[in-house]
Amino acid sequence: MIATARRTDVEEQSDAKKAEALRSSYTLWDWRRQISDLYARIRAMSDAEMAAELWRTTRAELFRNHPQTPLEAGAPAPDYFDYDPRMRFAVELAPATNDAPYHLPVSDGTVHLSPFAETVGLRSTLGGELTAYWIDGYGGGVFLPFLDATSGNATYGGGRYLLDTIKGADLGWAEDGRIILDFNFAYHPSCFYSPRWTCPLPPSSNRLRARVEAGERI
């Protein structure tokens, strides 16, 4: 009879960690796919208010039941301002006047943001324009975080996100080629919900003077 070596506790723990890493990767993949599919449905809808309602109800379901939810156990689902059609804009983009890169340390390294464009069309209503960033790295992506006069009181003091195309958050373009910025879709980063997450936050320069009472709120 050939003796079979007993697996050690260390080997079993290693296998368990690998299995958990695989499960986590799969569920994160699924979360991002569902978010990407959600925004694709939003872009295809002609009624912006109905699209915002779909966004809210789908996010509530994901936050409540998905393994990758940023919510801590027992925490309430996201809350929102009432839909405001005045907070939906179709804006032009101009080259960024300041192209100095912005480096943000996060738990697993550094996020490098390169300003590439500035909005044209928000100042008269919201008291300023916003800089759009390109997230450097393989594939890259557009990132538009912002602060406003609600930041720190009615919304997270670290700001909110409007576009993050790496994560699928993309509202698309108007028929005339302008980009859609609908602040009714503004949302808090995951680090607002839990210290388990580390998120890139907007630079202080990406601040609107007005109160943007649209999108996600505290």
pLDDT per residue rounded down to tens, the chain (218 residues): 555 556 677 766 777 788 888 888 999 999 999 999 999 999 999 999 999 999 999 999 999 999 999 999 888 999 999 999 999 999 999 999 987 887 766 555 677 889 999 999 999 999 999 999 998 877 789 999 999 999 999 999 999 999 999 999 999 999 899 999 999 999 999 999 998 888 888 988 899 999 999 999 99
pTM above 0.95, yes or no: no
- Residue whose C-alpha is closest to residue 150's, from 193, 213, 207: 213
Nearest to 144, CA basis, from 123, 171, 173, 124: 171
CA distance 153 to 9: 50
φ, ψ of residue 83 to 5 degrees: the values are -60, 135
Q: Cα 165 vs. chain centroid, distance in angstroms?
A: 8
Q: Quickly tell me which residue has 């694709």 as its tokens.
A: 40
Cα–Cα distance between 202 and 132 in angstroms, integer?
10
Residue 68 has a pLDDT of 94
Among residues 180, 182, 166, 192, which one has the least CA distance to residue 75? 192
**What are the beta bridge partners of residue 93?**
119
CA 84 to chain centroid: 20
